[in-house]
Amino acid sequence: MSSGGNCWPDRFAGKTVIVSGGAHGIGAATARRFLGEGARVAIIDRDGAGLSSAFADEAHDMLLTVTGDCTDADVLAGFYQQTVAAFGPVDVLFNNVGQSGRERSAPFHQSSEEIWRFVIEVSLMATMRLSRLVVPAMRERGGAIINMSSDAAFVGDAELADYAAAKMGVVGFSRALARELAPFGVIVNVVAPGAISTRAHDVLPAEVFDRIQAATPAGFIGAPDDVAGLVAFLASAEARYITGQTFLIDGGRWML
């Protein structure tokens, strides 16, 4: 079984993990990280071929992959039920799915409500829906939820107004949820990557990507494993006293 980055082989032994948007990039790297640390991992992504390719070498008794649209509430509910049936109650939820308008991004005055609604659906509403599914059981037995934001929400990148709004919505949602769930032993945190070498950045307008890279003090673009390591830590018992926090992984582009 393959895995990315440095791993503690048994850190998540006996744990069930959900990863949304896990066929590529950060989602795939994080799913492999959890598998490498002993977790049972359920992944949903609309790219079924990508899922098959990314996890062809993984142990199938520890892995469930489902092809489905994360903006469809019924699909998410079915995926959650399949996960529980296969692996038992969910211990960790990584709400990774989300995207900007990508090639359809535009200056705000030229943008369309259709694109706003898509970006909010996939980046915020999917996070809220999957969280709503896992929270009732987590209130009874504890758990960890890690939500995906972006440093674009903090920097305010031009031509990404809808994306920045959705991703800052993830931060506000996570803080409120963290406060609600803390008495039940559930932690909720946010990771907010900057420029990471993924397919999403490949389709950003060149001028947007160049601005982001030029503004990154570290001087290089991060890799998906740079994010996966932090997600794994936040999902572990080592992070039990950390909740409601947002962690930027962006080479210093935005410093809290």
Q: Which residues belong to the active site?
A: 163
User: Alpha-carbon distance 222 to 197, whole Å?
Assistant: 6
Pairing of strands 40-45, 16-20: parallel
Given the DSSP bridges, would you call strands 92-95 and 16-20 parallel, antiparallel or unpaired? parallel
Q: What is the largest CA-CA distance in the chain?
A: 51
CB 111 within 8 A of CB 163: no
Six token digits for residue 181: 């769930």
**Which spans in the chain are helix H?**
25-36, 48-54, 73-87, 113-120, 126-141, 152-155, 161-181, 199-202, 206-214, 224-235
